[in-house]
Amino acid sequence: MESKKEQHIYEVTAEVDNSIINEWENWIAEHVREIVALDDGNIFSKGVINKLNNSLLGQEEKSTTSTYVIQYTSVNETSITTYIQKHAPNLRKGAASFGDKLKTSRRLLVEFKTISNPPQTKNFGYVF
């Protein structure tokens, strides 16, 4: 059986007061670029900024805040430890400038299993 490398995702959830949303969106895009570029790109291979949209689920959104989930894909298992110990304390100072209008939480996800559709071709359907 072939061994697959585990994928590690460092995830930050941000609840942002709508009164600062434009300023925060500009800041977070630059912040994510800065984090992905750390140590010449040897900590995270990419960063993805997701915005929560419950209206697609039929849930009405009348809130004074917006929620974002930022996911950083690590280059390897030890790179997240390097980020947390070497870079995170200094980089989190930028978020402090938003005061109580920004609340964040963090977690680490480890890929458990990926399930994909079998490959298909236009003429023959599934390819085995």
Residue 94: which of 102, 106, 85 has the closest Cα?
Answer: 102
pLDDT, mean of residues 6-13: 94
pLDDT for 127? 57
Domain residue limits, the chain: 8-126
Q: Judge: domain 8-126, CATH 3.30.70.100.
A: yes
pLDDT at residue 2 is higher than 50: no
Ramachandran bin of 74, using left for φ above 0, alpha for ψ from -120 to 50, beta for the remaining angles: beta
118 φ, ψ (degrees, to nearest 5): -65, 150
**pLDDT tens, residue by residue, 90-106:** 999 989 999 999 999 99
Q: Is the pTM of this model over 0.95?
A: no
pLDDT for 1? 40
pLDDT at residue 33 is higher than 80: yes
pLDDT class for 32, splitting at 50, 70, 90? very high
